Amino acid sequence: MLDPYELAVKELVLKLEHLIEEYRLKGMYSPIEQVKGRVKSIASILEKAQRKKIPFDNLETEMEDIAGIRIICQFEEDIERVAQILRSRSDMTVKSVKDYLTNAKPSGYRSYHLIIYYTVETVNGPKRLQMEVQIRTLAMNFWATIEHSLQYKYKENIPEYVRKRLSSAAEAIGMLDKEMSSVRSEIIDAQNSSHMQAHLVVEILNNIQNLYKVANKRDIIKIQDEFYRIYAQEDLDQLTQFHKELDAIAEGYRAQGL
Ligand code: 0O2
């Protein structure tokens, strides 16, 4: 029974990781920072079925989180953006939403959950499954991971003093997310510049490597030295300009070759 769920998790993680790559290759900020996925363990499925009195035959319809995807964002604003991206995708349909951002759980848990329908191809043809997608910030995830690990130890009976600490930690996490949001645009600018710089450097080095096949060695060494000089200045504009000039030089050699 769990096989199609394994496939669904693998597919969605791959697709969403590819989305992150696409944003980065285009020099754009990715609202998704990390993606994780899991199929619920059999022990956990049985425990939940017992707790919620779900008959075995109804597991697939009544247990919505047999397959789960967790999307981690840097900023709280990214969560809504990611939810929009998922809503607009043609490979899934949103069944329902649980907004624990505006309505945090009494424990302090905050996250945005979507239950989606997703179809996988199996040897018996297409199979439509339900999956739970949890979207939260890095900070919210930190809190939820720690709190979840305590649930294993204490089950329902987390001691009062620990519960209080967790509750104030949840408030601190909320404030941290707000603080980070207030400098979001500066952080995004800095991250975009650093991704763009890394991308430009790779392109320039590829160009120089290609020039080795066609240009004379003395010219290439001059170009290489110029690259080192500009690279050391850590100036994105100069690097962009150098990249353009190098493109023109490479084009010149290509034309000569024709
Ligand atoms: P797992 O796989 O161990 O994470 P529930 O009745 O609360 O068990 P329900 O009604 O199916 O679950 O939906 P809900 O409340 O949206 O919870 C679904 C999942 O959200 C949980 O999965 C957790 O992963 C996460 N979650 C919900 N509440 C909390 C919370 O207070 N703390 C933490 N850390 N996570 C929470 P499971 O079933 O616990 O399984």
Q: What does the pLDDT read at residue 136?
A: 98
Q: What is the CA(118)–ligand 1 centre distance, in A?
A: 20
Q: What does the pLDDT read at residue 256?
A: 77
97 lines ligand 1 (CB under 6 A): no
| CATH for the 3-159 domain, from 3.30.460.10, 3.40.50.300, 1.20.1260.10, 3.30.450.40 | 3.30.460.10
User: Which residue's alpha carbon is at the smallest distance from atom 21 of ligand 1?
Assistant: 65
pLDDT in tens, 6-29: 999 999 999 999 999 999 888 789
What's the pLDDT band for 71 if we cut at 50, 70, 90?
Answer: very high
User: What are the backbone angles phi and psi of residue 65, rounded to the nearest 5°?
Assistant: -115, 35
Q: What does the pLDDT read at residue 217?
A: 85
Atom of ligand 1 nearest to the CA of 98: 16
Q: What does the pLDDT read at residue 157?
A: 84
107 lines ligand 1 (CB under 6 A): yes
Say what the alpha-carbon torsion angle 238, 248, 226, 205 is, to the nearest 10 degrees. Answer: 90
38 lines ligand 1 (CB under 6 A): no
**Cα–Cα distance, 228 to 226 (Å, whole number):** 5
Q: What is the CA radius of gyration of the chain?
A: 25
Report yes or no: 166 and 142 within 8 Å, Cβ to Cβ: no
178 lines ligand 1 (CB under 6 A): no
List, in sequence order, every residue forming a beta bridge with 57; answer none if it has no partner. none
Q: What does the pLDDT read at residue 108?
A: 94
pTM of the model: 0.83
pLDDT in tens, 107-149: 899 999 999 999 999 999 999 999 999 999 999 999 999 999 8
pLDDT in tens, 208-244: 998 888 888 888 899 999 999 999 988 888 999 999 9
Q: How confident is the prediction for the chain on average, in pLDDT? A: 92
105 lines ligand 1 (CB under 6 A): yes
Report yes or no: 163 and 106 within 8 Å, Cβ to Cβ: no
Residue 132 is among the residues annotated as catalytic for this protein = yes
The fraction of the chain above a pLDDT of 70, given in percent, is 99
H helices of 101-137, where?
none
Tokens standing for residue 53:
């009195």
Cβ-based neighbour number of residue 34 at 10 Å: 15
163 lines ligand 1 (CB under 6 A): no
For the segment 85-111, the average pLDDT, to the nearest whole number, is: 96
User: Which residue's alpha carbon is at the smallest distance from atom 5 of ligand 1?
Assistant: 48
40 lines ligand 1 (CB under 6 A): yes
Res. 153: pLDDT tops 80: no
**Cα–Cα distance, 230 to 227 (Å, whole number):** 5
**Cα–Cα distance, 24 to 14 (Å, whole number):** 15
Cβ-based neighbour number of residue 54 at 10 Å: 16
What's the pLDDT band for 258 if we cut at 50, 70, 90?
Answer: low
User: Which residue's alpha carbon is at the smallest distance from atom 29 of ligand 1?
Assistant: 109
For the segment 75-99, the average pLDDT, to the nearest whole number, is: 97
User: What are the backbone angles phi and psi of residue 64, rounded to the nearest 5°?
Assistant: -85, -10
Name the residue of 59, 109, 156, 163 to mutate for ligand 1: max ligand atoms within 8 A of Cβ. 109
Q: What is the CA(18)–ligand 1 centre distance, in A?
A: 27
**Cα–Cα distance, 69 to 112 (Å, whole number):** 12
Q: What is the CA(149)–ligand 1 centre distance, in A?
A: 12
Query: Which residue in the list 64, 76, 132, 147 is annotated as catalytic?
Result: 132
**Cα–Cα distance, 112 to 101 (Å, whole number):** 6
The domain limits of the chain are 3-159, 187-257
pLDDT higher for 153 or 200? 200
